[in-house]
Amino acid sequence: MPITELLTRNATYFKNDVALVEINPAAENIPHVTWREYSLIESARGGAFRKQITWGEFETKANRFANLLLTRGIKKGDKVAILLMNCIEWLPIYFGVLKTGAVVVPMNFRFDAAEILHGLTLAEVDALVFGPEFTGRIESVLDNAPRVKNLFYVGEDCPSFADSYEELIAYCSSTAPAVLITDDDDGAIYFSSGTTGFPKAILHAHRSLMHSAKVEQAHHSQTRDDVFLCIPPLYHTGAKMHWFGSLISGGKAVILRGVSPEWIIRTVSEECCTIVWLLVPWAQDILDAIDSGKIDPADYNLDQWRLMHIGAQPVPPSLIKRWKNVFPNHQYDTNYGLSESIGPGCVHLGVENIHKVGAIGVPGFGWQVKIVDAAHNEISSGVGELAVKGDGVMKCYFNDPAATKEVLDSEGWLYTGDMAERDADGFIYLVDRKKDVIISGGENIYPVQIEDFLRAHTKIKDVAVIGLPDKRLGEIAAAVIEAKDGETLTEDEINEFCMGMPRYKRPKKLIFAHVPRNATGKIEKPLLRKTYNGDHLVAQQNEIEI
């Protein structure tokens, strides 16, 4: 069953129930009034602090956009990209694309112009929905993206090269289009990246999307009474697939545009959130705010909050011990997954296994897992590559059969590139990554892109970028820089040069030293990580008391 049918079911049976709420805080401190009261004040001023839609309105918006796309010639199998910040329009647009039988292509809102163009070209995008934050970047690449015939703009002051989404859907039918969609039809393309640092287009069938919804509910037992707080970007498979637990249960979800500890706690309190998915830095920030006295949990309604779970990066066991000291009644789970395995859940700890914090857990609902040697033979002990199999595995890397063959075998096993081992109880621990991708605050940073940028500096002979451990972000990017003979470099000089890169890609640590390479010319990054204390992914297998 395609996942669009879950939306239609909810609109039929829970038509007037709230499906989505958007909270967009305008200030750090809004004293003496609730979010709802403040939203009324902002509405009177023409602002939009708090928005909400029901399941019936959600379905109507999705149907209207689907019919708009059909009138523009978008058909089954075409590609429609979404480049928006988190907002209440995001998910209805996503489902509108799916209802046409077209393939939805969420794009990372951190992409620069070159990455946007690469994604549009690689995924063979036919139409694009974008917001005001991206107008300049989109306009700069249009001449090189002739396939993108339709551009829809979400927001005020629509640019001349696009059409207004809000104005057009008002005139479209709210009846669901009569398009037959099967589980095996192409459903979505998500972007990842390989060793080059540029994204691969990961193609998933509708079967994958429905599987992720089933997995999420099986792991976290969502009901219609649960309220999910969604903070991470919706272009991530993680955020959206956790929200699928709300979709399958008919529960409310709250989209919070901001990660201030106060905003998170106030939203949990005032929207009665029961489930919150956090990244490690956000959990640490909340605890630090509580420890410093900036937040007093007693001032908020938090008794209904039953589950905090974390994904997207290694989780320090000490953080969870600290969290449980503050929130002793919370269930906790960690979720491991890849965009190639439709987000989180192919391995998860399980709320009943908090005594095993440090492990990524056991095979998720409907998933098979094995650890293999270099020849892909399963091993019963020791360290090997983690492989997973289930209905959530991608169909392929779109238009890249060679890359697909490297990670996906004929029996449906996906080889993750992560090295792992099992303990005596069958719990899986990550040991290291075969890939050099740095995960900083839940975002992937690709060293090759930074290295290529830095090599353009006239004084740099060689450079290697590695991940170093960071208490708050999990990892930071560190650049080991070797100057040309006779040249000297300073941190200020390099930091100034790096202003030409997006902020999140800029190295957080600079090391001026020789860059070692092996006999074949490859940078010896394991040696660098060991030398500079970056070899931090060794599994923490000591159980801790919580």
- What mean pLDDT comes out for the span 199-213? 95
Given this model, what pLDDT does residue 391 score? 96
Mean per-residue pLDDT over the chain, rounded = 89
Find the CATH number of the domain harbouring 525.
Answer: 3.30.300.30
| Strands (E) located in 84-217 | 103-106, 127-130, 150-153, 163-164, 186-193, 199-205
The answer to the question of residue 99 being in a domain is: yes
Q: What pTM value is reported for the model?
A: 0.82
Tell which residue, 151, 150, 154, has the closest CA to residue 167.
154
Contact assessment for residue 173 and residue 64, using Cβ atoms and an 8 Å cutoff:
yes
Let me know if residue 546 belongs to a domain: no
409-422 pLDDT, tens digit per residue, is 999 999 998 888 89
Q: Closest Cα partner for 416 from 398, 437, 401, 400?
A: 437
pLDDT tens digits for 389-412? Answer: 999 999 999 999 999 999 999 999
The answer to whether 243 touches 233, Cβ cutoff 8 Å, is: no
Nearest-angstrom CA–CA distance, 285 and 377: 43
* C-beta of residue 369 within 8 angstroms of C-beta of residue 428: yes
In a domain, 396, yes or no: no
pLDDT at 313: 64
* Residue at 195 is within a domain: yes
What is the average per-residue pLDDT within 89-98? 98
**Residue in 282, 283, 278, 216 with CA at minimum distance from that of residue 251:** 216
- Domain-terminating residue out of 292, 311, 330: 311
CA dist., res. 545 & res. 534, Å (int): 27
Highest mean pLDDT among 311-315, 459-463, 519-523 belongs to 459-463
Residue 543 has pLDDT above 50, yes or no: no
Q: pLDDT at residue 538 above 70? A: no
Q: How confident is the model at residue 195 (pLDDT cuts 50, 70, 90)?
A: very low
Mean pLDDT of 170-181: 96
Q: How much of the chain is in helix, strand and coil states, percent to nearest 5?
A: 35, 25, 40
Number of domains in the chain: 2
pLDDT of amino acid 472: 87
pLDDT at 28: 44
Domain of residue 102: give its range.
4-311
Residue 64 has a CB neighbour count (10 Å cut-off) of 21
Residue 31 lies in a domain: yes
Give the pLDDT score at 46. 45
Least confident of 149-163, 305-319, 475-489: 305-319
Torsion of CA 492, 495, 497, 498, to 10 degrees: 180
Tell me the average pLDDT across 46-66.
90
Mention every residue, 6+ apart, whose C-beta is less than 8 A from residue 2: 98, 181, 182, 183, 185, 187, 206, 209, 210
Q: What is the C-alpha separation between 128 and 299, in angstroms, rounded?
A: 44
More confident residue, 115 or 58: 58
Strand order from edge to edge, sheet including 252-256: 50-54, 18-23, 252-256, 227-230, 275-278, 307-311, 331-338, 343-348, 362-363
| 215, 392 Cβ separation under 8 angstroms | yes
Mean pLDDT throughout 306-329?
A: 86
At residue 434, the pLDDT reads 66
State residue 194's pLDDT score: 44
Q: Does the structure show a pLDDT above 50 at 546?
A: no
Stretch 423-432: mean pLDDT? 87
Q: Which pLDDT value is given to residue 542?
A: 32
- Rounded Cα distance, 103 and 77, in Å: 6
Q: What is the DSSP string of 465-478?
A: EEEEEETTTEEEEE
> 3-class DSSP state for residue 363?
strand
- Note whether residue 538 is domain-resident: no
**Residue with tokens 């958007």, as numbered in its chain:** 22
At 216-248, the pLDDT tens digits run 999 999 999 999 999 988 998 888 899 999 999
Note the pLDDT of residue 524.
Answer: 81
Report the distance separating Cα 541 and Cα 544, nearest Å: 9
Give DSSP secondary structure letters for 429-487: EEEEESS--EEETTEEE-HHHHHHHHTTSTTEEEEEEEEEEETTTEEEEEEEEEEPTT-
pLDDT digits (tens, 9 = 90+) for 137-171: 999 999 999 999 999 999 999 999 999 999 999 99
Residue 82, amino acid? I
Pair (304, 447) in one structural domain: no
Q: With 0-12 CB in 10 A as exposed, 13-18 as middle and 19+ as buried, what is 294?
A: exposed
Run of H or E residues at 4: helix 4-13
The amino acid that residue 222 corresponds to is Q
In a domain, 286, yes or no: yes
Give me the pLDDT at residue 484, please.
Answer: 86
Residue 30's pLDDT is: 53
Residue 353 lies in a domain: no
**pLDDT score at 42:** 53
Q: From residue 141, give the alpha-carbon distance in Å to each of 88, 117, 155, 177.
A: 27, 6, 20, 32
Mean pLDDT across the stretch 436-450? 80
Domain's final residue, options 286, 311, 336: 311
Domain containing residue 80: CATH number? 3.40.50.12780
The single residue listed with the structure tokens 């209805």 is 92
Whether residues 130 and 277 fall in one domain: yes
- Tell me: the pLDDT tens digits for 247-292? 999 999 999 998 889 999 999 999 999 999 998 778 888 998 998 8
Do residue 307 and residue 446 come from a single domain?
A: no
Q: Which of 272, 291, 311 is the last residue of a domain?
A: 311
